[in-house]
Structure 1
């Protein structure tokens, strides 16, 4: 029996002229209705049969059908929906990650307007969780998204990350970073972490059992369960500029794709390297995190 996704597909072409079978944007809902399933599973079924949902055409040929389907099968747990988390969530939706659980307890305020994707005059005073849910659903309704207006307590990171394939730390400051690393390690989930300070963007992938960036900022004595701030926060001193955030977000998303596809992360693993990009000097450095 021919699946609805295949039956409704059409001849199409990639931007370079390569002929492909395409499931047009509006046909995805029709195929899902006929199959009695949801949009995400419909897109996966199409890709398994070599049919590209129209929204993902520009992901090809960097990705292929198997890789795109794998993104749709990947679970991501994202903590923080502000300057980093908002565009990270948007990027996950546009890339085609299929299942995301996200959390943030905060609301938008005027000082967020300089850098936070979801902060506008209309969203001031609105919860970041609510704005993120609405935005991501508009961008890619196939993504199964659960957003919670929640402050993840230090002792709760393990539970929040449990069951995910990838954890993402998009927290502000460094106070909860050690707890996030411990929680991801306890849940057995690789953690991608990023931060910004002025013109500088930093990112790393921390595999369970490996050393993470928190060890650079907090001594063993300071990384206790209270997770009080270890040192003065660089982003509070230098500010958070949009260009640095954009770079950090790109690093996080690239690592997320690698992890989803089962590839070795470029900013983690046995080498334990953290990328630091200084946009003022246009420099890229890598620091080894292993003790």
Structure 2
């Protein structure tokens, strides 16, 4: 291990390690990309791929992200962008959950969908994509529908659960199971020009207030263009980052309503608003 650390130190330039140097360390040591990246960060050496993060994230922050585990439930419109952004951010372990394969109607908005991949499981495409963009990210996939019968197992060991579902029943089950496990849930929903985001900590009920009844959302009625999922997913990724790092002010007890047609952003307050510090 000391040989690996000495090699990393020798290869660093201004505290940065190139992708090539990290790859050489992986090849020479037989260790995983994830282990090599964490060894570097533990020694205050930053992989150069994150250098544009360092004016807003400390080395300790980047290490904390690398040691985090986040579950993304749904790998379609919202989920594809969320997976991409968390992978590029440097979240070390990502659980991708989705039972579906790509279909033609996904092509207008889902980042991971291409004509060549129609009929391919979404989780398989997500895993391949994340490996391509950041080999230090460990991707755990489950090609199954999330629900009460398997939710506890699927979310096990995760710190944050990201809601990229397309139905109300699934969201309510996710909220219930996340709370039971002591996991923070970052909720997002989209329909046409509109979307919403909130972050629910264990024991809170903002999501349940927003969806008092089960049923399917209005996505099919209003449709979804290419840009709405990108906007809402990015807001969700920012919330995940803040929760993992304990930084900033998350949308706790608040729901951000986004109207891209009129370009209006409005907050609603939950009845279950937590006390401010």
TM-score, length basis structure 1: 0.88
**Does 2:59 align with 1:78?**
no
Moved more, 98-107 or 30-39: 30-39
Instruction: Pick one of 159, 173, 179 that aligns with 1:185.
Output: 179
CA RMSD of aligned residues (A): 1.7
Cα distance in 2 for partners of 1:193, 1:233 equals 14
SS of equivalent residue, structure 2 residue 77:
coil
- Residue of structure 2 in register with 1:275 after alignment: 256
SS of equivalent residue, structure 1 residue 275:
strand
Checking the alignment, whether the CA contact within 8 Å between 2:164 and 2:189 is kept in structure 1 is yes
Instruction: Pick one of 243, 267, 275 that aligns with 1:286.
Output: 267
Checking the alignment, whether the CA contact within 8 Å between 1:8 and 1:23 is kept in structure 2 is no
Cα distance in 1 for partners of 2:241, 2:7 equals 25
Cα distance in 2 for partners of 1:278, 1:36 equals 50
Long gaps (5+) in structure 2: 273-277
Checking the alignment, whether the CA contact within 8 Å between 2:147 and 2:174 is kept in structure 1 is no
Cα distance in 1 for partners of 2:148, 2:248 equals 28
Checking the alignment, whether the CA contact within 8 Å between 2:70 and 2:159 is kept in structure 1 is yes
Instruction: Pick one of 83, 103, 112 that aligns with 2:106.
Output: 112
Alignment of 1:13-32 (within 5 A): 20-32=14-26
Instruction: Pick one of 9, 12, 24 that aligns with 1:10.
Output: 12
Checking the alignment, whether the CA contact within 8 Å between 1:108 and 1:123 is kept in structure 2 is yes
Moved more, 71-80 or 27-36: 27-36
Which structure features the higher share of helix residues? 2
Instruction: Pick one of 221, 231, 238 that aligns with 1:254.
Output: 238
Moved over 6 A (4+): none
Cα distance in 2 for partners of 1:4, 1:86 equals 38
Superposed CA offset, 1:237-258 (max 9, x none): 1111222111111111101111
**Does 2:165 align with 1:171?**
yes
Checking the alignment, whether the CA contact within 8 Å between 1:158 and 1:182 is kept in structure 2 is no
Query: Alignment length, in residue pairs?
Result: 270
TM-score, length basis structure 2: 0.92
Cα distance in 1 for partners of 2:256, 2:123 equals 29
